[in-house]
Amino acid sequence: MANVRLTDIRKSFAKTQVLHGISLDIASGEFISLLGSSGCGKTTLLRMVAGLESVTAGGIEIDDRDVTSLPPEKRDIAMMFQSYALLPHLSVSENVRFPLRMRGIGSREEQQEKVAAALETVQLGHLSERKPRQLSGGQQQRVALARAIVSQPKVLLLDEPLSNLDARLREDMQVELIEIHQRLGLTTIFVTHDQEEALSLSDRIVLLNAGRVEQQGTPDEIYNQPATSFASNFIGSANLVPVEITDSAQGPVAKLEDGQVLHLDPNEAIRGKATLALRQEDLTLSANGMGLKAKVRTRVFLGARNRYVMSLAGHPLRALTANDLDFANGQEIALAIDPARIRVIAD
Amino acid sequence: MNDRTENLLLALPGILLLGLAFFLPIAQMLLLSISGPEGFTLAHFVRFLSDPYYLNILWRTVRLSVLITVICALIGFPLAYIMTKVGPKLRLGLVVIVILPLMTSVVVRTFGWMVLLSRSGIVPELLRDTGLVGRTFALMQTEAAIVIGMVQVLLPFMTLSILGVLTRIDGKLEEAARTMGCSFLQTIRTVVLPLALPGIVAGSLLCFTLSASSFVTPNLLGGTRIQVLAASIYKSVTATPDWPFAAAQAVILFVGILLVLVPYIKLTGAKHG
């Protein structure tokens, strides 16, 4: 267990700069997610912490020790790869024992005890003599997890480890990751592009966009108080509607590009050009009630819910509704939203 | 016409060629090696295996082939490894450099070495001038010359065999090994080498069989004094000429190479089956 400190990390490949000065303080035992779309630099940042990628400028400290120029093997970290990277010529137990053997941790007997314990943790004790290729994807993934935690590294680095699993297994593994983190308390850096995964697993989320930190905070903060239009769109896929906010007799109102007007929370302070972040699940649709007029474009049946894609003031707008609401394509409908649920972001 | 007969028809030209140009001569050679003036005889084999001169040739052939194979592997593995790590342009350049010796005629290539290695050639001169060797030092007509010449010819077989296997190894495995405490060299030893083993074995078999049966390069660079088995067969045919004895030597070479190949085929066959 150790803290990790990144100071103004920059990275350039050839002439393109992919990380523009990222500073992060990660507390000992914290589970932190680097969240962002592909190409935002999250994996590069993780690989720099691992020592697999050189640092163009800036510093990395692990456990208050400068490791910026140390090779990976001297950093006392463990990394779990998206492709699991199990060694195909070694059995499951040899794979898990590998970091202990290479780091010279304990005697042979102690190593075998630790391997057995780690495999028990991921419930794979009975498969220890198999070769990786004889295991299913989910099992391989658990072996990779056992191998990552067996040496009790100072920092555990997870590079989209769940993205190759099907939905059911992914949920199981999320629970398993949370439990293992609670039990072992390893400082963990988790890279993902899946906002739900980041929200459910992390103590803190760092949202990256184009090589910069867009926003960081607890999952609750990130979800409920997105600071920028990018953050609100990325987390919860909120709809972004450009408006102009002015005062009226009934308090602040937002004027859409087509002239429609939406009443805002009386305490809203922002005026002028702004962006409204409207969450899909906060929108209430009705055939002829009060509210903004929008036109239905498509319905996507999701089982428990429906998703409607509408057109509002020329912009596509998505809403999640109960699955018994039935509107026809092209139908004009009314759109209502609780003013308290509207998030206003100044441009 | 069903699929079976169609396949057979398609394979026929190849089978015919193989039968006429390979199995027939081999069968004839086997027959010749055991035929004497009074019918069946093992005299030719006895003569070869009881004469220290010929045993020495056999031993030299095996020894040099092993040495050439080992040197090819020692150069070929790092070379192939580097080729997997560099960019596509540089890799292409390296591949061309590696296979270039195969594109030149064996005679031209060997004469090149004769020029370089002869008494007044550039290599011995340089070594003498720098004082690394004595005044009487010579390279031509030594086993060293044979090894140098053969390594150059056989290196592509080794390098390309290993390269084929190395390119299929997931680069993430090496990174994973590094994060698990392996230094670069430990990664090579514990991850890359074990996974590259099939390529190294295949390349080694190619190198060994080709160098054991090679004739022109050892003959030109080693001279008549330092003979290998293939050269001895040639001499028996042309100088004496003693066809049955030449056939017996060829059978010994043939069987020797089979003995090396069979375990390999069994091993790889077991893996796929």
Those residues with Cβ within 8 angstroms of residue A96's Cβ, 6 or more apart along the chain or in another chain: A115, A118, A119, A128, A143, A146, A147, A150
pLDDT at B270: 56
Q: Does A237-346 carry CATH code 3.90.1150.10?
A: no
Average pLDDT, chain A: 90
Chain B residues with CB under 8 Å of a chain A CB are 170, 172-173, 175-184, 186, 190-191, 194-195
Taken in order B44, B46, B50, B55, the sign of the CA dihedral is positive
Name the residue facing A102 among B175, B180, B184 (closest C-beta).
B180
pLDDT at B200: 94
pLDDT at B1: 63
Listing DSSP states for B70-106 in one string gives: HHHHHHHHHHHHHHHHS-HHHHHHHHHHHHHHHHS-H
Those residues with Cβ within 8 angstroms of residue B150's Cβ, 6 or more apart along the chain or in another chain: B64, B68, B211, B214, B217, B218
- Between chain A and chain B, how many beta carbons pairs sit less than 8 Å apart? 62
pLDDT at A73: 94
Distance of CA B6 to the CA centre of its chain: 37
Mean pLDDT value across residues A217-240 = 86
Q: Do A78 and B182 touch (CB under 8 A)?
A: no
For A92-112, how does the pLDDT look when each residue is reduced to its tens digit (9 = 90+)? 999 999 999 999 999 999 999
Which H/E stretch holds residue B204?
helix B193-212
Which residue from B116, B83, B113, B87 is spatially nearest to B101, judged by alpha carbons?
B113
pLDDT at B81: 96
- Is B9 part of a structural domain of the chain? no
Task: Please tell me which residue, B239 or A60, carries the higher pLDDT value.
Answer: A60
At A167, the pLDDT band (50, 70, 90 cuts) reads confident
A contacts of B171 (beta carbons < 8 Å): none
> How distant is the Cα of A286 from the closest Cα of chain B, in angstroms?
53
ipTM: 0.81
- Is B11 part of a structural domain of the chain? no
Q: What is the CATH number of the domain that holds B130?
A: 1.10.3720.10
> How distant is the Cα of B266 from the closest Cα of chain A, in angstroms?
20
Listing DSSP states for B14-71 in one string gives: HHHHHIIIIIHHHHHHHHHHTEETTEE--HHHHHHHH-HHHHHHHHHHHHHHHHHHHH
Q: Do B175 and A72 touch (CB under 8 A)?
A: yes
pLDDT at B273: 36
A contacts of B170 (beta carbons < 8 Å): 83, 85
Task: Assign a CATH topology to domain A4-229.
Answer: Rossmann fold (3.40.50)
pLDDT at B132: 84
Q: Do A51 and B186 touch (CB under 8 A)?
A: no
A contacts of B181 (beta carbons < 8 Å): 73, 99, 102-103, 151
pLDDT at A306: 87
> Which phi and psi (to 5°) does residue A308 adopt?
-105, 135
Q: How many domains does chain B have?
A: 1
pLDDT at B70: 97
pLDDT in 10s for each residue of chain B, 273 residues: 678 889 999 999 999 999 999 999 999 999 999 988 888 889 999 999 999 999 999 999 999 999 999 999 999 999 999 999 999 999 999 999 998 888 888 889 888 999 999 888 888 888 888 888 888 788 888 999 999 999 999 999 999 999 999 999 999 999 999 999 999 999 999 999 999 999 999 999 999 999 999 988 999 898 888 889 999 999 999 988 889 999 999 999 999 999 988 888 787 765 543
What's the domain range around B166? 40-272
Domain boundaries along the sequence of chain A: 4-229, 237-346
Q: Do A87 and B172 touch (CB under 8 A)?
A: no
B168, B173, B179, B182, best to mutate vs chain A, most A CBs in 10 Å: B179
pLDDT at B269: 63
B contacts of A89 (beta carbons < 8 Å): 194-195
Between the CA of residue A345 and those of A259, A276, B122, what are the distances in Å? 19, 6, 78
Tokens of A189: 């850096």
Taken in order B185, B189, B192, B193, the sign of the CA dihedral is positive
Between the CA of residue A140 and those of A81, A192, B50, what are the distances in Å? 11, 19, 60
Q: Do domains A4-229 and A237-346 have the same CATH topology?
A: no
Candidate from A68-77, A200-209, B110-119 with smallest mean pLDDT: B110-119
Tokens of A146: 């056992």
